[in-house]
Structure 1
Amino acid sequence: MDIIVAENSIQQQDAFQVRTLVFVEEQKVPADLEIDELENESIHFVGYEDDVPGAAGRMRLVDGYAKMERICIRKEFRGKQFGHKLMWAMEEEAKKHGMQKAKLNAQTRAIPFYERLGYTVVSEEFMDAGIPHKTMTKQL
């Protein structure tokens, strides 16, 4: 899978398509919560396998952190290390922007994945879009 920073509207729409499939259709997150007012201030990432969009995420630079958000892999692309590739690409982009720390709000079932990548839980559990989450951070 090739992970790129979305540089045009087609690539951004591909990222939105992946996010909609995973979060809205699969996890039943309301569509108006998934695509929000922060899209224009975000750096968007999309992953392609044989020209098919299969991974997506966005990053915002907030309070000295690279805030990793909306990280997802389409069901048929899971189990192939694409999540690792996506996170690596996002972290490398964060470093290009001078960021030394990353932060994300992980769905609790995804915490072991992020722990394997060096993230540490720093909050109590909270609900976001009806799904339990915890905040995690990492030194880049």
Structure 2
Amino acid sequence: MLIVETSQDLATCLSLRRTVFIEEQNVPEAEEIDGKDAEAVHILARQGKTPVGCARVIGFGTTAKIGRVCVLPEFRGKAVGVAILDACHDAARATGATRVILGAQTQAVSFYERLGYAAYGDVFDDAGIPHRMMERGL
């Protein structure tokens, strides 16, 4: 059973992010650990007791930024990302946000579009990976 909830377990989220971003995608550790985790609400997905994905939400008034969305490779394509984003939207609403933004890896743009996001702006480089900014109303 998939469980997705707000979590204080930052160490587990950082471990998942290390696996996906630093080890799998070769993101430099100095870019992945950016000093913004203390101000974020963290979302953690577990399959039973096994952590399988996470994300964070940082509120900025009526806009919240979702970031560091990751799912372990063996759990991709199983709606874990959808459940994580649903929980992120709930967390963003709880901060008073009426809009969410995120920087999506270009290979994931269609995933976010299926969840109601629209891309804006030009493609940009983030840690050597092409991204697009995306937004969605809440």
Output the TM-score relative to the length of structure 1: 0.94
Task: Report the alpha carbon displacement of residue 63 of structure 1 after superposing the two structures with TM.
Answer: 5.2
Higher strand share: 2
Output the TM-score relative to the length of structure 2: 0.96
| Superposition map of 1:45-84 within 5 A | 45-62=43-60, 64-84=62-82
1:28-84 Cα shifts (integer Å, max 9, x gaps): 001111112111111111111121111110110125311000001000111110000
CA distance in 2, matches of 1:126, 1:36: 18
Secondary structure of the residue aligned to 2:67 is strand
Match of 1:2 in 2: 3
1:118 to 98, 116, 119: 116
* Equivalent residue pairs, number: 137
Match of 2:36 in 1: 38
Q: Which runs of 5+ in 1 are unaligned?
A: none
Q: Percent identity at matched positions?
A: 36
CA distance in 2, matches of 1:113, 1:73: 13
CA distance in 2, matches of 1:123, 1:13: 33
1:87 to 82, 85, 94: 85
CA distance in 1, matches of 2:94, 2:72: 27
CA distance in 1, matches of 2:48, 2:4: 12
Q: Does 1:109 align with 2:107?
A: yes
- Pairwise CA RMSD of aligned residues? 0.9
Q: Is the 8 A contact 1:12 1:46 kept in 2?
A: no
Q: Which runs of 5+ in 2 are unaligned?
A: none
Q: Does 1:24 align with 2:22?
A: yes
CA distance in 1, matches of 2:46, 2:11: 13
